[in-house]
Amino acid sequence: MSAALGLRVWGLSRVGYNTDEAVYAGQAAAIASDPTLKEIFPVFRAHPLLFQFMLALVFHFGVSDLAGRLVAVLIGLATVFVVYLLGKLLYGEKAGMLAALILALMPYHVVVTRQVLLDGPLVFCSTLTLYMLARFALTERPAWLYSAGVGMGLTFLAKETGIILMGAIYAFLALSREIRIRILDIALATILTFLMIVPFPASLLLAGGTRSGKQYLVWQLFRRPNHTWDFYPTTVPVAIGFLVIAAALLGLWFLRRQGTWRERLLVCWILVPVAFFQLWPTKGFQYLLPAAPAFAVLAGRALAHWPPTQVIPPLNRYLSIASFNKLVTGIVAISLLIPSWRAIQPSTTGSYVAGTGGVPGGREAGEWVRENIPQGAKLITIGPSMANILQFYGHRKAYGLSVSPNPLRRNPSYEPVFNPDLQIRTGDLHYIVWDSFSAERSAFFSEGLLKIAEKYNGRVVHVESVMVKLEDGTTVAKPVIVIYEVRP
Amino acid sequence: MTRLRRLGCVLGVLVVGSWPTGGGAHAQAPNQTSEPNTPIKHFIVLMQENHSFDNYFGTYPGADGIPPGTCMPVDPFDAKNTTCMEPFHIGDYPIEDLDHSESTSNLQYNNGRMDGFIYALNQRNQDGVSAMGYYDDHELGYYWNIADEYVLFDRFFSSASGGSAINHMYWVAGAPGSESGRVPPGGYGDVPTIFDRLEERGISWKFYIENYDPAITFRTVVPGEDFGNRASQIVWVPLLNYDRYLDDPNLFSKIVNLNEYFEDLENGTLPAVSYMVPSGASEHPPGSIRAGERFVKTLIQALMRSDAWSSSVFMWTYDDWGGWYDHVPPPQVDKYGYGFRVPALMVSPYARRGYIDSTELDFTSPLKFIEENWDIEPLAERDARANSIASGLDFSQPPREPFFISFSREPDKLPAEPRRGVIYIAYGAAIVFAVLMIAIVSITDKNGSDQRTTDPKLRKEDAIS
């Protein structure tokens, strides 16, 4: 747990929020009635509000990015503990310890649970659900199935995409004939799930957010893919750890004769979200995180029973089993620790993948905006990502140039600028903010924004730089965020 | 003293004597400095065009606006004709340039009875009823918002009952400039201006002109020819009617295009005193008043974005009443005026918040402020007697942070205020229910655990694991 804690709090506040963190924290601040942010961030956007609600309880004592991240860290640590319980329940104490160690060090989980994202709480709730489902499978007590239903509801409230794990539950139950289950119990558990979900539509309906919910659903269903098909295969295995995946797969193969419903449960928990999100057009780095605990338990199981009987005789000639066991575990742990350590260092390339951490310079730029730009001033950025960050830290309205005026082509949470030229000419837009992270993703809008800056007497009033390493090894300051003042 | 030295002294006196000091300009007092007497280091004043106070702020809450029951007689000189017209909201109704000559002013004033507004225009073959039109916050959202936050002067009179030329002269010189109130054929000669005084004291100044054309001066303009409407530049910029301001490169270099205002703000070189006049955005009927509002907004926003904001006053007013109705009889302080009230507003970090200042003021009041702030002697009798616009400032308060005022009277569209209690109850109840459920099931699972240790099937599986 100390390793888990250390990796999650080391330099936690060194880099400010990224766009998603800014949005969720902004929502939480709006729920907590922060006088400034409640006028910038709407309470209802896309997702249910379980995590934002929890953050709001903290933000009642003051909005702080560090406090928000500490809540995320606590939830991450709680997930590590639940994974320990799960591993212990399924494969014994040692497997539980190893599974917890793997998750504690896993870059995927470390990176996400250092951020104010919904996926950390989602994984906690889904892992809790998995644990209760395992207890049901083990004891066949319907109460545990009902609890799993409640856990599933919580998972949805953390993030609605968690609902796809119901597919994993049904698949597992359908494939596990040895587990006696009554249809009535499944129905009751499902009802409990939907009862738990009620706060989402109820608050939308009663608290005035129906419109935003419907619009978001429509947009999600028809939006264009944001990544190519190979996004997950190229990013997630690295984040989970190749050795972890290898250990899980080798364990499944070498220990196949000892296989029970347990592996089926974990495999279902992995395959269903992976298959779903691979097909779903919208892809996000953290979307597959619910599968990480299952990988950790399968890998923990493999390491706990390593080496398998097939490789013991030749191995005995060189090394004791215990030493070999410790060596393999150590290698796996180090293979996770090193990338995790690297992942929690600030970016030194000036580029950024959404969901992988804070945006260097974003908080500082936002704070500069808050200190130096008149209240009521409005900004335009390349895209909504930087706009969100500047709004959270800068307390000023910011728009994204790339936000489409076509309602079918934009996130309904975002407000488009229909004619930036006109708005600058009429004194309704005052600053242009260019950033290298958005520019890298959208050269077209970056160029468009700079053209506007040039056209309207753009004058650089602030620059945020990060130290980047060049190919020859030298380190230089690279401007990542540039703020221009514009006027007609 | 040698002959050579004596000759040097004589030449020195001649040189000093021939320096353009602005006619009646006074010598600098030995102990005077260019440091201001208040935190205001930059004073900026803009002159817009042709609206009366009641035309813009006649329905502004709390101001001395159009009295209830107002009904303007169509013909005050015909006792039998009792027809009268009430003030009406102009909205987007197209308007014309109402006559605003001195004779019209006198007819409308009607010896203080203030009942000739319609009649006078009818005499000019115009629709006199137009004079009773007024705008409100639908058209003047920005100005009304400014008034809500800063200072609105509701007893600010045009200095003379005539039109632009004489009032602009009062604005810069505290005097009519000529007996007729018009630009004399040879220019204003030695009539001193505030800029002469500032120049003597080494206090920086500039006269900013929107779309400035240096070729348009009193020497080049032939009425009705060459420059068309652009000829108004010499009316709105009295300095272009002075030989010395045109011939002295130093003085001429301080009459500049408005672009330099923005550059000066950006470069931190905004002078101590800035006068400015518009061109297309003057609000002069039938021009767009919204264009004027946007123009003023741009100027104020640029100031607010600059380092100069914390030590600045920005005010603007209107050179004459434009033929529009105003209900307050202007005090007659001399043969030239006052003329009717005009709108005037002031923005500053030291401005009182939402303050309606009823001090009696005119175009020489900004001069008074400059003179008091920088220890400058008055230019003429009017500015010597004038009240200062400083009554709208409060230096006991810390400077206010810049704040961009909305253009619209309606607040920005904010997200609907949600019922947060519903969120707290719904999500709080969900968490409590889940925790209780799991806790109860865990506690009551003792039997399940017992079963797990005794169930042969489970024991077998555990053994396998």
Sequence-distant (≥ 6) Cβ neighbours of residue A317 within 8 angstroms? none
With an 8 Å Cβ cutoff, are A199 and B429 in contact? yes
With an 8 Å Cβ cutoff, are B427 and A42 in contact? no
CA distance A172 to A269: 8
CA distance A344 to A112: 10
**What part of B 44-83 touches A (C-beta under 8 Å)?**
none
pLDDT digits (tens, 9 = 90+) for B151-187: 999 999 999 998 888 999 999 999 998 888 788 888 8
Residue A219 · residue A211 · CB < 8 Å: no
DSSP assignment letter at B351 = B
Sequence-distant (≥ 6) Cβ neighbours of residue B351 within 8 angstroms? B150, B151, B313, B392, B393, B394, B400
The CA-atom distances, in angstroms, between B398 and each of A52, B8, B395, B401 are 38, 53, 7, 9
Under the banding of pLDDT at 50, 70 and 90, the label for residue B459 is: very low
Burial string for A322-355 (b: 16+ CB within 10 Å, else e) reads eebbeebbeebbebbbebbeebbeebeebebebb
CA distance B202 to B34: 7
Q: What mean pLDDT do residues A92-116 have?
A: 89
Biggest CA-to-CA distance, chain A = 83
What angle, rounded to 10 degrees, do the helices at A65-91 and A93-105 form?
Answer: 150
For residue A205, the chain B residue with the least C-alpha distance is: B422
pLDDT digits (tens, 9 = 90+) for A192-224: 999 888 888 877 777 666 555 566 666 666 666
Q: What mean pLDDT do residues B113-124 have?
A: 94
CA distance A450 to A429: 14
For chain A, the average pLDDT equals 85
The CA-atom distances, in angstroms, between A456 and each of A421, B91, B144, B406 are 8, 32, 28, 21
Residue A118 · residue A17 · CB < 8 Å: no
- How close, in Å, is residue B441 to chain A by CA atoms? 6
Q: A-chain residues within 8 Å CB-CB of B429?
A: 199
Residue B52 · residue B96 · CB < 8 Å: no
For residue B261, the chain A residue with the least C-alpha distance is: A487
DSSP result, A369-415: HHHHS-BT-EEEESSHHHHHHHHHHH-SEEEETTS-SSGGGS-TTSP
For residue B415, the chain A residue with the least C-alpha distance is: A42
With an 8 Å Cβ cutoff, are B462 and A488 in contact? no
CA distance B395 to A19: 42
Between vectors from CA B410 to CA B347 and to CA B151, what angle results, nearest 5°?
Answer: 20
pLDDT digits (tens, 9 = 90+) for A158-175: 988 888 888 988 988 888
pLDDT digits (tens, 9 = 90+) for A64-79: 889 999 999 999 999 9
pLDDT digits (tens, 9 = 90+) for B43-55: 999 999 999 999 9
The CA-atom distances, in angstroms, between A87 and each of A65, A244, A263, A294, A337 are 33, 15, 11, 9, 20
Strands in B273-277's sheet, in edge-to-edge order, are B255-257, B205-209, B273-277, B42-48, B312-318, B344-347, B151-153, B355-357
Q: B-chain residues within 8 Å CB-CB of A39?
A: 414-415
CA distance B448 to A260: 20
The CA-atom distances, in angstroms, between B447 and each of A139, A189, B148, B452 are 10, 21, 73, 8
Q: Which of B415, B428, B464 sits opposite A258 (nearest CB)?
A: B464
Chain A within 8 Å of B418 (Cβ-Cβ)? yes
Q: Is the ipTM of this complex over 0.90?
A: no
With an 8 Å Cβ cutoff, are B430 and A153 in contact? yes
Under the banding of pLDDT at 50, 70 and 90, the label for residue A15 is: confident
With an 8 Å Cβ cutoff, are B404 and A209 in contact? no
For A212-221, A340-349, B283-292, which range has the lowest pLDDT when averaged over its residues? Answer: A212-221
Helix (H/G/I), strand (E/B), else coil: B58 = coil
Burial string for B337-356 (b: 16+ CB within 10 Å, else e) reads bbbbbbbbbbbbbbbbeebb
pLDDT at residue A348, as a whole number: 62
**What part of B 243-302 touches A (C-beta under 8 Å)?**
262, 266, 294, 297-298, 301-302
pLDDT at residue B106, as a whole number: 92
For residue A42, the chain B residue with the least C-alpha distance is: B415
Q: Which two tokens stand for residue A390?
A: 């500047």
Q: B-chain residues within 8 Å CB-CB of A488?
A: 298
Residue B137 · residue B342 · CB < 8 Å: no
The CA-atom distances, in angstroms, between B87 and each of B71, B75, B104, B322, B341 are 7, 16, 19, 16, 17
For chain B, the average pLDDT equals 86
Q: Which of A92, A199, A397 sits opposite B427 (nearest CB)?
A: A199
Whether residue A431 is preceded by a cis peptide bond, meaning omega within 30 degrees of 0, is no
Q: Which of B403, B437, B462 sits opposite A376 (nearest CB)?
A: B403
With an 8 Å Cβ cutoff, are A144 and B441 in contact? yes
* Percent of residues, chain A, with pLDDT higher than 90: 29
Is pLDDT of B465 > 80?
no
Q: Of the candidates A113, A122, A114, which has an alpha carbon nearest to the alpha carbon of residue A51?
A: A122
Who has greater pLDDT, A358 or A324? A324
For residue A125, the chain B residue with the least C-alpha distance is: B434
**Residue A474 CB burial class (10 angstroms; 0-12, 13-18, ≥19):** exposed
CA distance B321 to B342: 6
**What part of B 364-403 touches A (C-beta under 8 Å)?**
401-403
CA-CA-CA-CA torsion for A429, A433, A439, A441, nearest 10 degrees? -70
Q: B-chain residues within 8 Å CB-CB of A30?
A: 415
Q: A-chain residues within 8 Å CB-CB of B301?
A: 374, 377, 427, 430, 487
Rounded to two decimals, the pTM is 0.80
Helix (H/G/I), strand (E/B), else coil: A327 = helix
With an 8 Å Cβ cutoff, are A31 and B414 in contact? no
- How close, in Å, is residue A131 to chain B by CA atoms? 11
Q: Of the candidates A107, A114, A49, which has an alpha carbon nearest to the alpha carbon of residue A76?
A: A114
DSSP result, A414-449: SPP-S-HHHHHHTTS--EEEEEHHHHHH-HHHHHHH
- Residue B82's Cα: distance from chain center in Å? 39
Chain A within 8 Å of B35 (Cβ-Cβ)? no
Under the banding of pLDDT at 50, 70 and 90, the label for residue B2 is: very low
With an 8 Å Cβ cutoff, are A53 and B423 in contact? yes
For A398-407, B131-140, B385-394, which range has the lowest pLDDT when averaged over its residues? Answer: A398-407
Q: B-chain residues within 8 Å CB-CB of A159?
A: none
Helix (H/G/I), strand (E/B), else coil: B369 = helix
CA distance B330 to B353: 27
**What are phi and psi for residue A94, nearest 5 degrees?**
-65, -45
DSSP result, B309-332: GGGEEEEEEESS-TT----SPPP-
- How close, in Å, is residue B282 to chain A by CA atoms? 16
- How close, in Å, is residue B308 to chain A by CA atoms? 13
Is pLDDT of B59 > 80?
yes
Residue A51 · residue A118 · CB < 8 Å: yes
Q: Of the candidates A189, A487, A376, which has an alpha carbon nearest to the alpha carbon of residue B261?
A: A487
With an 8 Å Cβ cutoff, are A33 and B420 in contact? yes
DSSP result, A101-128: HHHHH-HHHHHHTTS--SHHHHHHHHHH
Helix (H/G/I), strand (E/B), else coil: B356 = strand
pLDDT at residue A287, as a whole number: 85
Q: What mean pLDDT do residues B113-128 have?
A: 93
DSSP assignment letter at A357 = S
Q: Of the candidates B46, B48, B45, B47, which has an alpha carbon nearest to the alpha carbon of residue B272?
A: B45
**What are phi and psi for residue A433, nearest 5 degrees?**
-120, 115
pLDDT at residue B457, as a whole number: 47
For residue A132, the chain B residue with the least C-alpha distance is: B438
With an 8 Å Cβ cutoff, are A39 and B427 in contact? no
Q: What mean pLDDT do residues B232-259 have?
A: 93
Q: A-chain residues within 8 Å CB-CB of B299?
A: none
Highest mean pLDDT among A363-367, A423-427, B4-8, B204-208: B204-208
Under the banding of pLDDT at 50, 70 and 90, the label for residue A111 is: confident
Q: Which of A43, A138, A374 sits opposite B418 (nearest CB)?
A: A43
Q: Of the candidates A395, A312, A431, which has an alpha carbon nearest to the alpha carbon of residue A63?
A: A395
pLDDT digits (tens, 9 = 90+) for A215-261: 666 666 666 666 777 788 888 888 888 888 888 888 888 777 777 88
CA distance B15 to B13: 5
The CA-atom distances, in angstroms, between B238 and each of A245, A406, B46, B196, B252 are 84, 52, 14, 13, 12
For residue B295, the chain A residue with the least C-alpha distance is: A426
